[in-house]
Amino acid sequence: MIHLDDPASFARQARQIPEIARGMDARKALGHLLDVQEDVKRAALVIEQKRASAPALGVKFPTSRFGKRCEIAATLVAAGVPCPLIKLSHGGFDTHTDQPRRHPRLLGELAQGLAALRKALIQSGDWGRVLISTYSEFGRRAKENGNQGTDHGTAAPHLMMGGQVKGGFAGSQPDLGQLQKNDLIYTTDYRRLYATIEQQWFQMDPNSKVSRGQSPLAILRGKSL
């Protein structure tokens, strides 16, 4: 996995990695580090070459950090960089305090970034082969905590979008009148999202460590492209 905020900066840093001679007596650990070094340099070269011939997106992206990350993702996809997964982070949702002010801004940044990403990938002809899914390590409690915020909870809504996604609502709305220790009672197991990506998008056999026996959601039109 490669982690980067800026492809150009990543390429510059990769070129600055010093060459280390391989000795006949090099230990296995050193050999692994050398292999990783070469992988980083190769990846940086591929990204540079692909981005140099990338088509113009013709879309104005938001100036937020998340908006810029969406622009980088759209550029990489449109350029044909061979990467099956791209992770975009958008933090700040741990709203224990001041949620009425913070939450609308965060959701606005998410919506604006994803809308621009969708528009760019439609124009580049890649929207049909892209699946976008949100995920989080925690949900939010339904009841306010007294500080105009909410604490960690057991459930949360998630979004999946792409050219092969059927529009609509999957699952059932949780009942706000039926809480468990002030938490929502979830109606759809989150592992069904992973099963959908694993089995229907990537056409992989079920893995007990991924979907844990859960079945995919019926939200994709067909096989991935």
Confidence of residue 62 (pLDDT cuts 50, 70, 90): very high
pTM, rounded to two decimals: 0.79
Token output for 93: 């949702």
Q: What angle do CA 176, 157, 140 make, to 5 degrees?
A: 65
Number of residues written out for the chain? 225
The answer as to whether 28 is a domain residue is: yes
Task: Please tell me the number of Cα atoms within 13 Å of 91 on its side-chain side.
Answer: 0
Domain contains 177 = no
The runs of H, that is alpha helices, within 53-190 are: 65-79, 99-124
| Number of domains observed in the structure of the chain | 1
Contact 192, 158 (CB under 8 A): no
State mean pLDDT over 82-89: 90
In a domain, 221, yes or no: no
Between 42 and 77, residue with greater pLDDT: 77
Contact present, 123 and 59 (Cβ < 8 Å): yes
Strand partners, 131: 162
| Residue range of the domain that includes 9 | 1-53
The model's pLDDT over 9-58, given as tens digits with 9 standing for 90+, comes to: 756 665 665 655 555 455 565 666 666 666 666 666 666 766 667 778 89
- Structural domain contains residue 20: yes
Give me the pLDDT at residue 48, please: 72
Q: Is residue 9 part of a domain?
A: yes
In the predicted structure, residue 119 carries a pLDDT above the cut 90: yes
- Look at residue 211 and tell me if it is in a domain: no
128-152 pLDDT tens trace: 999 999 999 889 999 999 999 999 9
In a domain, 142, yes or no: no
User: Does 62 map to a domain?
Assistant: no
Alpha carbons 153 and 166: distance in angstroms, whole number: 28
